[in-house]
Structure 1
Amino acid sequence: MSTPPRARTLFVSDIHLGTRDCQAELLASLLRRVRPERLYLVGDIVDLIAMQKRAVLPPAQQRLVARLLRLARGGCEIIYIPGNHDAALRRLCGLRVHRVQIERRAIHVTADGRRLLVSHGDEFDTHVRIAPWMLALGDGMHQFVLALNRWCNRARGVLGLPYWSLASALKRRVGAAQRYVAQFEQAALHQAAREGLDGYVGGHIHKAGFRARDGVLYCNDGDWVEHCTALLETPDGALRLIDWRGELLEREPLVDAPAVPEEADLVGAARVP
């Protein structure tokens, strides 16, 4: 197993504490290997919606919460940005609780000077053109797939095999899921560009990855119920997608500068009333 890169910043989201699907032990394993100076908790950290029906908080999840609080006491700057599943905590935005700063959104400045919008991402749901019945069906199927994912990895654990995301493998083969992700990415890139920022970091859709368009970088740190991934910033400002072992999954793509209109285009645009 290779040594994980040094971390200036770590972004994690969609932990869903309080549910059976939370992979608390794997995240705790990552936090033992990677010690960031700053940690962003990018929404859906606690699943308050699921806990209204059934609350599950086994020892592994309790230990993870304790580890996060120890990181904060040890000097790690922690910023908690509530998502749609822990939206009730948004009323605490602007407050500091147990050395954890709670914010609705943030602007993160990388070591190389880039400014990135950080938010959970549920605000872009209204920009995704998917029929309501398909969303409802997709949510039901998602819960079924997560159950399969749990049983699959219990069997793998008995056989001494490492974690593997069955849910991720299945979703890659569903065209509707791919269209949803593409529309979400477009909305996030548009928002960052509209605010004059260099990029966007979020979660919400449980699909980690990078995308670049017109000089703007999109980063999704994934989740901790299916993929078990995080976004890491190195001391020089480079962004890396890593798994629960700290292994490199993907490097950020090169971002081309925004296209500059030709002089003729600028003249033509000036004539538009």
Structure 2
Amino acid sequence: MTVQPLSRRYRAIFISDLHLGTRGCRADFLADFLRRTDCQSLYLVGDIVDGWRLKRSWYWDETHDEVLRLILAKAKNGTEVTYIPGNHDELFRAWMPMEFAGVKLRAHAEHTTADGRRLLIMHGDEFDSVVRYARFLAVLGDWAYTAALVVNRWFNAARRRLGYPYWSLSQWLKRQVKEAVKAIDRFERALAQEARRRGFDGVVCGHIHHAEMREVDGILYLNDGDWVESCTALVEHMDGRLELIDWAALNRLSHWRDQPAQRALPAAA
């Protein structure tokens, strides 16, 4: 992994779907991102720890520890850290609301950007019909997804030895399946409708491992992606501008550039 010398400070950072406790978690990229960014507010938007996987088999290494240390250090040093559990770390939902080590545990949160836009923050599994109504199918899908990640890991190990950059096999497979594309669209519209119903200007979520930022019927839909496949984060700049950062793509470059592999929405007029 190429280490970049510069660091960036943001008004807010949103990350989700870390899946700590799984071999697929790119804790190396994530730790690097946390070390070289700073923010006033950090939102952990669900599936931070993968309780489903840890129940079946234990996997945890020093890089996973480093990620937790970096998050807790940010809370200790004044960053407002809010943790919104998802379906894979749903065991923490029984403890809400509470605060531990400076981290606020909440079912959902609200964030107001520097330019006055109100954003609803939630993991999003509440609007995934497979997770809500067919948990067995969700677990079965989790097994299949894990198998794809294993193939992806070996595939990229071979690419690395041959001098090729990281490439997400599972992301490519998902894009090829029309039904998956339709499901993503239904999910995005459901989240946008919920934000509208509650009187928000937009929604920030995770859950489906598909980073996106777009308007859905006048509502901002912002998905911060994941740290298993795409290694993406949503950030708010000091002027309220929202941007998706692809950390894996940044680390494929030998030098930091101003606009690499990023998508942005301007600050409100």
What TM-score do the two structures reach when normalised by structure 2?
A: 0.86
Q: Which residue of 1 aligns with 2:95?
A: 92
The aligned residue for residue 84 of structure 2 is 81
1:29 correspondence with 2:63: no
The one of 115, 122, 127 aligned to 1:124: 127
Query: How far, CA to CA, are the matches of 1:74 and 1:92 in structure 2?
Result: 24
Corresponding residue for residue 166 of structure 2: 163
* 2:52 alignment partner, one of 43, 49, 53: 49
- Alpha-carbon distance, 1:131 to partner: 9.2
Q: 2:263 aligns with which of 250, 263, 268?
A: 250
Once the two structures are TM-superposed, the CA of residue 31 in structure 1 deviates from its matched residue by 1.3
Q: CA deviation at 1:43?
A: 0.3
Deviation at 1:253, TM superposition (A): 7.4
Distance 1:99 1:82, change over 3 A: same
What CA distance in whole angstroms lies between the structure 1 residues aligned with 2:247 and 2:184?
A: 22
Helix, strand or coil for the counterpart of 1:146? Answer: helix
Q: Give the distance between the partners of 1:135 and 1:101, measured in 2 at CA.
A: 28
What is the match of residue 109 of structure 1? 112
Conserved 8 A contact 1:5-1:234: no
Alignment-derived partner of residue 223 in structure 1: 226
For residue 20 of structure 1, the aligned residue among 23, 26, 30 is 23
Q: Which amino acid aligns with 1:251?
A: A
Alpha-carbon distance between aligned partners in 1 of 2:198 and 2:192, rounded to the nearest angstrom: 10
Counterpart for residue 240 of structure 1: 243
CA distance in 2, matches of 1:100, 1:200: 21
Instruction: Indicate the larger mover: 6-15 or 163-172.
Output: 163-172
Output one character per residue of 1:45-66: Cα deviation in whole Å (capped at 9) or x when no partner. Answer: 0001110001111111111111
User: Aligned AA for 2:21?
Assistant: G
Post-superposition offset of 1:141: 3.4
- The answer to whether the 8 A contact 1:212-1:253 is kept is no
Provide the residue aligned with 2:196 in structure 1. Answer: 193
> 1:120-152 CA deviation, whole Å, 9 max, x = no partner?
000101399999998676544322211111112
67 and 38 in structure 1: CA distance in 2 versus 1, 3 angstrom threshold: same
State whether residues 10 and 236 of structure 2, in contact with CA within 8 Å, keep that contact through their aligned partners in structure 1.
yes
Deviation at 1:100, TM superposition (A): 0.5
Q: Please, which moves more after superposition, 131-140 or 156-165?
A: 131-140
Distance 1:137 1:81 in 2: 24
What residue identity is the alignment partner of 2:48? I
State which of 122, 140, 154 in structure 1 corresponds to 2:157: 154
Distance 2:102 2:265 in 1: 31
Q: CA RMSD in A?
A: 2.7
Q: CA shift at 1:70, angstroms? A: 1.1
Note the C-alpha offset of 1:162.
Answer: 3.8
Determine if contact 2:211/2:226 at 8 Å carries over to the other structure: yes
Gaps of 5+ in 1: 257-273
Q: Cα 1:70–1:160, aligned 2, differ >3 Å: closer, same or farther?
A: farther
Q: Is the 8 A contact 2:8 2:36 kept in 1?
A: no
Asked if structure 2 preserves the Cα contact closer than 8 Å seen for 1:128 and 1:180, the reply is no
Q: Kindly tell me: are residues 22 and 210 of structure 1, through their superposed partners in 2, closer, same or farther at Cα, counting changes over 3 Å?
A: same
| Residue-by-residue CA offset, 1:235-258 (whole Å, 9 max, x unaligned) | 0111100012564421137999xx
Q: Identify if the C-alpha distance between structure 1 residues 129 and 38 changes in structure 2 by more than 3 Å, giving closer, same or farther.
A: closer
Tell me the distance in 1 between the aligned counterparts of 2:196 and 2:264. Answer: 21
The CA distance in 2 between the partners of 1:141 and 1:35, in whole Å, is 36
* SS across alignment from 1:116: strand
1:180 aligns with 2:179: no
Mean Cα displacement is larger for which, 239-248 or 88-97?
239-248
Structure 1 residue 214, shift from structure 2 partner:
2.6
How many corresponding residue pairs? 256
- Letter of the 1:86 counterpart: D
Could you report, residue by residue, the CA deviation over 1:185-243 in whole angstroms, capped at 9, with x for unpaired residues? 01001000111110000000000001212321000000111111000000011110001
1: CA distance between counterparts of 2:150 and 2:64?
Answer: 18
* The 10-residue stretch of structure 1 (70-79 or 182-191) with the greater mean CA deviation from structure 2: 70-79
State how far apart, in whole Å, the 1-side matches of 2:5 and 2:221 are.
Answer: 27
